[in-house]
A and B are shown apart, each in its own frame.
Chain A
Amino acid sequence: MLSRVADSLYWMSRYFERADHCARVLEANYNLMLNPSKASTEERWQRIMASLGIAAAADGIDPQMAMITLTGDPDNESSIVSCIAGSRENAGQVREQISSEMWERLNRLYHYVTQSNAELGADSDPLRLVAAVREGSYQFRGVTAATMSHGEGWQFIQLGKYMERSCALPVLLDAYFSTAGQADDLDWVGLLASCAAFESYCKVYTADLKPDSMAEFLLLNPEFPYSVRYAVERMNEAIAAISRTSFAHPTGRIERIAGRLRASLAYAQITDIMAGGLHRYLNSVIEQCKSLHAAVHEVYIDYPIQLALEA
């Protein structure tokens, strides 16, 4: 497969996951903010911004502006609309490689969000836009799994999705646990809802919301799709599948980084992690994901020509 095509599929998928994640976080928090809490509105928005990895303005946060920044601001490259546009742009580069059903879904979602974003007034409620993204994302994922051949291209799509998730979840966790002192039960529900995890969590730990249990669930659970461990396992599978189809490369480095990350999550104990400092652990996960991304890029996408000629 052409490197450029693999790259476009990977980014199509990453941007899509980013939009989806942002929509879920917003939807979960928007609901909760209708309830009073011991944290001020501003503090809550601070946390939302932080959980999406966006630096908040120094001179405080205007809730209305924050919402607009996160949904439809074209200047904010991580806003939902920007991410959907980025995903669609990458898909458009490789339209003949994805199924026409996928293109149609993505295109329709793009037109919906750009149009309803343009129609949004200063004080109107963007919740419908956010809900549409979540719905659209389930459909796009379903159509992708059902209509695209599960070959190398599909594996790059999987890799992009789970790479984005493995990077986003630690940021989210960090934002909640670094402000754990101000958080009440409802805030913790917000964390779980941001990962569509409330029901699944309760099945394992009951409705007993303990921060350590939640950290354990979202970091180390092997079965829940929005846990870091689950995402890293799927990345490992995608990497192995890609390396099988493109035999020509020395892929040892990629497999080593991915395997080490997987093992560290598989054999970790939440008590050890908490004792050693959650923040440090989360940062190390993010760093490992970054070097994995760089290694994949270097081996499959933008490799030095000289090296490839000698091989």
Chain B
Amino acid sequence: MPAPFSGYEIDAAYDEMFRAPGRPRPQYKNLYTHLLNLPSEELHRSKKEADLSFFNQGITFTVYGRAEGTEQIFPHDLLPRIVTSAEWSTIERGLTQRITALNLFLADVYHERRILKDRIIPGEIIYTCKHFRRQMHGVKVPRDVYVSVVGTDLIRLPDGRFVVLEDNLRVPSGVSYMLTSRKVMKQIFPALFRKCGVRPIEQYSQALFSTLRSLAPEGRSTIVLLTPGIYNSAYFEHAFLARQMGIELVEGRDLVVHDNKVYMRTTSGLQRVDVIYRRVDDDFVDPLAFRADSSLGVAGLFNAYRAGNVVLANALGTGVADDKAIYSYVPQIIRYYLGEDPIVDNVETFMMTDRTQREHVCENLEKYVVKAVGESGGYGMLIGPHSSRAQQAEFRDRIMADPRNYIAQPTLMLSTAPCFMNGRIEPRHVDLRPYVLFGEKVTIVPGGLTRVALRKGSLVVNSSQGGGSKDTWVLQN
């Protein structure tokens, strides 16, 4: 291939940019020509400029489990990932269908439980789920919307189809990286933007605000963002979104509950709070209802919530629908509630509770990815092909000890996209996390966070495990 791409190797994975060596897909033609004509030092300069811009804006995240003060810049790749309008339209319809079905599922699970009575899903899978909240039984939530903010992880298979790898229905993060990265990219590639016709994403904050407001009771609309505080890895994002929406960024200690109503302490006295966009996990929101040792939450919040005096977004107990064992039932869930076939498919998933499937996986661990069902962020998983015998043995024991806690999926060839690495353009594996909002209606801003596994050959894209991100361009047509 020509100069900047001379080291670019296309393998079995679907490559986002190239159909074959030297033959870019149509949506990438503008970028390809631009890169061919760009002096090589220019990319270096742009990369430096972009990193500096992220640094100055303080766009960092904290890595847990290391010495104090490990604040890092979120690694960012310069080259955009481009999605055509046709591909996007499928994704959009697929995710709208999925969030609609999952919301119906949650309403059902916490009320009538028809899906269990009709034996579509075995009850014990629900009740043994770590994130099932029996306290939510019979609690009415506004508009029956349980999940108002979703970050769905999509990957692209070698045949070019997008499939859902994970639904993140609890407190998905990363949207601030999507927004800030776009801002930086516009400074760096103004000409390309003009030429390509990239659909805007800047309206996300307003859309999130409208979504939250649509959940507020009639005539009341004080919305706040509840953060665990400055030591949380996503604190930057919490502060960013609060500022963008013009709402207060509160911590648990700023809120008090009295007479089942929630107030925040301000210098003008107590002010009633109507909607809480909470970025604190279920377990920690109320020490009286859930974990008693939580100092991040607000005592009495759950009672106020149950009394209908305050709205939480997302609702409590939504984790039952993104449990990795429930995940394998999502196609059935879509058919059951909507009578439609899934527009975007699932990844094939093996249940470790099923004896045949378990034995098959345990004998072939080197071919599978094993995941703990209640974990996220790339923690608690085994990637078969990249694991040692000792690790495999360890996971085999863990699966045997607690089969309900694990699922297995075939090792998936994530698609590759060109990245600017150490002065060369090389392919790296990527996924795609669009952000879905659900209030009065479903809103998906055209784009998302494309996460990149920065290490060559690696399939792990999580930021906590050495992943980075790149801007995602959805084209006009």
Taking Cβ atoms with an 8 Å cutoff, the residues of A that contact B are 1-4, 6, 92-93, 95-96, 100, 152, 242, 245-249, 300-301, 303, 305, 308-309, 311
Contacts and interface: CB of A to CB of B under 8 A. Distances in A.
A300 B256 CA distance: 15
- Most interface-central of A2, A246, A249, A305 (chain B CB within 10 A): A2
B166 interface: no
Given A305-B270, A309-B270, A2 B264 contact: yes
Contact of B254 (A2, A92, A95, A242): A2
B234 to A, nearest CB: 13
A1 B265 CA distance: 9
Given A2-B248, A92-B230, A95-B230, A248 B254 contact: no
Interface string B238-265: 0100110000111101101010000111
A96 B243 CA distance: 8
Given A96-B243, A100-B58, A303 B253 contact: no
Contact of B268 (A95, A100, A246, A301): A246
A3 B268 CA distance: 8
B267 A308 contact: no
Contact of A246 (B243, B248, B256, B267): B267
B190 interface: no
Given A100-B58, A248-B269, A300-B267, A4 B254 contact: yes
Interface string B265-291: 111111000000000000000000000
A152 B267 contact: yes
A249 B270 CA distance: 10
Lowest 5 CB-CB distances: which A-B pairs, in order? A246-B268, A96-B239, A3-B265, A248-B268, A248-B269
B170 to A, nearest CB: 24
B250 A95 contact: no
Contacts, number: 57
Given A2-B250, A4-B254, A305-B256, A96 B266 contact: no
A254 B268 CA distance: 14
Contacts of B253: 4
18 contacts: A1-B266, A1-B268, A2-B264, A3-B254, A95-B58, A95-B239, A96-B239, A242-B267, A246-B266, A246-B268, A246-B269, A247-B268, A248-B268, A303-B265, A308-B269, A308-B270, A309-B270, A311-B269
A242 B266 CA distance: 12
Nearest to B270: A308
Contacts of B256: 305
A303 B269 contact: yes
Contacts of B251: 4
A249 B268 contact: yes
Contacts of A308: 269-270
A264 B252 CA distance: 42
A1 B267 CA distance: 6
Secondary structure at the A interface, as helix, strand, loop or mixed, is helix
Interface string B428-453: 00000000000000000000000000
- Most interface-central of A100, A242, A303, A309 (chain B CB within 10 A): A309
- Most interface-central of B250, B254, B266 (chain A CB within 10 A): B266
Interface residues of B, number: 22
Nearest to A306: B258
B267 A6 contact: yes
B258 A305 contact: yes
A152 B250 CA distance: 17
A249 B269 contact: yes
Interface in B408-441: none
Contacts of A1: 266-268
A105 B117 CA distance: 63
Contacts of B250: 2
Contacts of A249: 267-269
A98 to B, nearest CB: 12
A95 B258 CA distance: 29
A272 B311 CA distance: 63
B354 to A, nearest CB: 49
A36 to B, nearest CB: 47
A242 to B, nearest CB: 7
A188 B18 CA distance: 80
Interface in B293-323: none
Contacts of A311: 269
Contacts of A6: 267
A207 B173 CA distance: 65
Nearest to A7: B267
Contacts of A301: 267
Given A1-B267, A248-B268, A308-B270, A96 B242 contact: yes
A96 B57 CA distance: 11
A272 B313 CA distance: 65
B232 to A, nearest CB: 13
A93 B251 CA distance: 11
Nearest to B231: A92
A247 B56 CA distance: 37
Given A4-B254, A6-B267, A305-B270, 8 more contacts: A2-B250, A2-B264, A3-B254, A3-B266, A4-B265, A93-B230, A100-B58, A246-B266
A198 B427 CA distance: 68
- Most interface-central of A96, A249, A301, A303 (chain B CB within 10 A): A96
Contacts of A303: 265, 269
B416 to A, nearest CB: 37
A96 B269 CA distance: 22
